[in-house]
Amino acid sequence: MSPRLFALIPAAVAINLVIGRVVAELALPVYLDTLGTMVVAILAGLPGGLLVGTISQLLAGMLSGYQWLAFVPIQWLIALLAAGAARSGGFASPWRSGLWGAACGLACGLVSAGISYLLFKGVTAGGVTAIGALFRSLGASLPVAVTAASLSTDLIDKTVAFLVVGALLRALPRRILGRFPLAARAVGR
Amino acid sequence: MSAGLARAAHPFTSGAVALALALLAMLAPAPTGPPVAYAAVCVAVIATGVGRAVLIGLAVSVPLWLLLVVMHGVLGEGARLATPVGGTLSISGLAWAVEQGSRLAAIVTASLGFARAFDPHRFLQAAIARRWPFAAAFLVVATLDAMTRFGEQAIRLREAQRTRGLRVRGSLRARARAVPALIFPLLLASLTDADEQVLALETRGLTAPGRRTAIDPPPDTRLDRLVRWGSLLVVLVAIWIRVR
C-alpha cells in the first residue's frame, strides 16, 4: 500500500463519520455518510474505496452498535459504482454525476431493502424507518414499505452524494488532480 | 471486579468479550433469551467499569424501540391485544419488538462498552507486540485520531459559518442550503491534510518492511487469555445449542 493511500484512508473514514454526523444534525432526509468512500474509490481506485467503506462501517459499529456491520456490502457497492463512474467520466458534468448517483441510489436501495427486511424486519435508522412506517400506515405490506422507503431515501442520498463529489472533483486544483489519474479521467481532463 | 477492569485488561480481551456478548445476544433464543442477554450485557459493562455505556446505549436504543413498537406493534398484523390507554397492538408484532429491541440494545451496549474501554495507544502497542500487520493497526489508530481532528474542525467551521450568517435551523430549504458551506471546506481540508501527511509517513518509513518493536506493550496475563478462550468457548457452545 502506498503512503498516499495510507494518508488518504484515515482522512476519508473520518470524513464519512464526521460529515454523516454534521448532516444528521441538520435533520435532512439524506445521510451523506459515504462521501469519503466515494472520494477514495475515485482518487485511489476500487481497493482503497472498499477498505474505507469497511473501516467506516467497523468504526460506526463500534460507536453505535455492531449490528450495522450488516450494511458493509452497501459501502462496497458504492465504492464499486463510484470507481465505475470515474472510469467512464461520470463526474465530468453535474448531469452525469446526477445520473450515476440515481443509478447508485437504485442499486443501493434494493440491496439495503433486502438487508433491512431480512435481518431487521424494516427497523434500522430513524428516517428511513419513519418513511417505512408511513408507507405501512397507508396500507403497504412490510416488504413493499421497506423497499419503497429504502429506494426513496437512497435515491435522494446517493444522487446528492454524487453531485457533491462531482462538484468537489471539478473544483480541485490541477496540482492535486494531477496526482490521481483516475480522478482526472472522472472529470474528463 | 474492580472499577476500570475493562480498561486495565489487554485490548484484545475487551474486544473479544464485546464481540462474544454481541454474538450471544444474536444467538439467544426468544422469547426470554434476548432480554436476559441484554440484562447480562448491562451487568457486565457496569461491573467492568464502563457503566456509562448503558446510559449511552439507552439513548441509542430508545428511538429504535419506539420504531419497533410502531412498525410491528401498532402497524403489525395478526391477533391483537387491547392496551390500557386505548387502541390495540399486534401480539406477534409486540413479541418481535421486544425480542429484536433487546438484541439490538445488547449489541449496542456491548459495542459502546468496548468503545469506552478502547485506548488507541495500547491497542497499537499490543498489535505490534503480537506481530499483527503494522499497516492495519496504524490505520485504526490514525483513523480515530483523524476523527477527533475533523470532528473539532467541523464544530469550528459551523460556528465560523454561523457568524457569517449561515442558518443551520429553520425550513428544509434553509438547512439544505447550509450543506455545501459546511461540508466542502471539510472535504477539501481532508484532501490537503492527507497530501501533507504523505511526506511525514514516507519519512518515518511507514511502508518499510521489517519487524517493529513495541515500546510499552500492555501485559497479556493468564487471566486475559483465559477470558478470551472462555469467550470463544461460550460462543461455540451457544452456536451448538442453537443448531443441534
- Could you list the mean pLDDT of each consecutive 10-residue stretch along chain B, which spans 244 residues? 76 93 92 94 94 93 91 88 86 93 94 90 90 82 86 88 84 85 88 82 76 86 95 96 88
A chain contacts of residue B108, beta-carbon cutoff 8 Å: 64-65, 67
Beta bridge partners of B81: B89
B chain contacts of residue A63, beta-carbon cutoff 8 Å: 111-112, 115
Q: Which residue of B has its CA nearest to A137?
A: B75
**Which pLDDT belongs to residue B9?**
92
Q: Which residue of A has its CA nearest to B67?
A: A123
**Which pLDDT belongs to residue A39?**
94
Question: Is residue A11's pLDDT more than 80?
Answer: yes
Identify whether the C-beta of residue A110 lies closer than 8 Å to the C-beta of residue A151. Answer: yes
| 8 Å CB contact of B207 and A168 | no
Question: Is residue A89's pLDDT more than 50?
Answer: yes
**Which pLDDT belongs to residue A156?**
93
The whole-angstrom separation of Cα A125 and Cα A142 is: 16
Which positions 177-216 of B are in contact with A (Cβ < 8 Å)?
178-180, 182-184, 186-188, 190-195, 197-198, 201-202, 206-207
Contacts of A24 (CB under 8 A, 6+ apart): A31
Angle of helix A72-87 relative to helix A46-64, nearest 10 degrees, comes to 150
CA A33 to chain centre: 6
| 8 Å CB contact of A1 and B67 | no
CB atoms within 10 A of CB A43: 26
Of A7, A28, A67, the CB nearest to B201: A7
Which positions 131-150 of A are in contact with B (Cβ < 8 Å)?
132-133, 136-137, 142
List the end-to-end C-alpha distance of chain A, in Å, as a whole number: 26
**Which pLDDT belongs to residue A124?**
84
CA angle B123, B128, B130 (to 5 degrees): 95
Identify whether the C-beta of residue A182 lies closer than 8 Å to the C-beta of residue A45. Answer: yes
The whole-angstrom separation of Cα B74 and Cα B69 is: 6
Identify whether the C-beta of residue A36 lies closer than 8 Å to the C-beta of residue A13. Answer: yes
Question: Is residue A1's pLDDT more than 90?
Answer: no
pTM for the model stands at: 0.86
Q: Cell triple for residue A61?
A: 459499529
Convert the pLDDT of each residue in A21-47 to its tens digit: 888 888 777 889 899 999 999 999 999
Return mean pLDDT, chain A: 90
**Which pLDDT belongs to residue B1?**
43
Which positions 89-118 of B are in contact with A (Cβ < 8 Å)?
96, 100, 103-104, 107-108, 110-112, 114-115, 118
Question: What sign has the CA pseudo-torsion A120, A126, A127, A130?
Answer: positive
Contacts of A7 (CB under 8 A, 6+ apart): B194, B195, B197, B198, B201
Query: Regarding predicted confidence, which is higher, A100 or B196?
Result: A100
Report the run of H or E that residue B138 belongs to, with start and end.
helix B134-163
CA A44 to chain centre: 16
Convert the pLDDT of each residue in A136-163 to its tens digit: 989 899 999 999 999 999 999 999 999 9
Identify whether the C-beta of residue B94 lies closer than 8 Å to the C-beta of residue B126. Answer: no
Contacts of A4 (CB under 8 A, 6+ apart): A44, A179, B194, B198
DSSP letter, residue B71? I
ipTM of the complex: 0.83
CA distance A28 to chain B (A): 7
Identify whether the C-beta of residue B218 lies closer than 8 Å to the C-beta of residue B122. Answer: yes
CA B78 to chain centre: 35
